[in-house]
A and B are shown apart, each in its own frame.
Chain A
């Protein structure tokens, strides 16, 4: 049994071969995971751009998955309950962008608040959002 916890074994230097092997295996694991992470980042990273940035390069962004940040224009929201469709306009600076969204509307979606819409725009310049991210200033701070 291990009565004395700290006996020093005879040799301080462990066989180089074994030590190398451990480092080698660890390196492979780390590299493998780094590669997965790199592929993940290059495939899944989406960029936050503002409405004016989006409009400035509208041709470039058409059909690309992006996240656009803007304010929900008061009065622009219309909801079609039958078809699950929510349409509204987001604006920033002097530019505005019409958005169509199908699905459950988040509870925190409100006119006049900042929002992030994730999705793609079509040839007609309508943005089809697959996700609405309400940038609610916070869940914790009072909404006042």
Chain B
């Protein structure tokens, strides 16, 4: 037997270990690829075999139960994934038929079984598809599962309830959300945005009751997303006097979005707000509302101490009216070599490029 000097033996054993590790890693990657390809092939075969059956179902008056006879329970997962693409891409009668195929067949029972699974992945799968299928009869089950201590499970169930448009569960969603200290406002809002715009009525009511100041800006932002125009905006108008700057900022964005001219007087006060962020949003709101009576006030803000306020005021002047644009253009000549003049020049040039 050949004997190596000590150092060479160590080096060789390291090289051998490394080669073995690389070999095992390559083998592992190849196996992963094999499993992935096999899974994709199963899906492709499934799609090829059953696609036409679903298309015929969509084109005829065939009963959903009869369609499902041709699918075994093991293929339900793939069938649901296959249907998902069509549910998202279609509307009208086509979509209704696909929803019936889930809600009025064994697929529904399968999803409820998944929802009640102890395995989180399956539970989330069940919740997702019950939401996608807008299964009103699953509201009770989803509501129960939403009370989980697991944040992912809560969010999945809450989003599904929102997709089903289960307004009656809104209080539960707010109550349960409090349990999760790490739940971000962004995630919370993404749940609310899944509802239909009719959710704005109960959301507006929540602004009147014991809702924390932390949640109010998020609620107002949701109202803005839906462009909700309340029958009586008194509550929201009063809130423009709130001491919480985040609430005021969201309200300014909201009134600008719905172009609520009657809010102008209240917004005007915020053009003098000591917080430059509020001033900026107030200018933007006035511009969107298009209250030309406040043109002079906006012009004055071109001479504000804050740079962002100056720029926003110049942008508003450019967009307000032909006269205000001419006034902005004239500053280049009337007050050359000033900061205001260079901001005006910058805005005019930017807009010229945009509309080129």
Are A and B co-members of a single complex? no
Please report B residues at the A interface, Cβ cutoff 8 Å. none
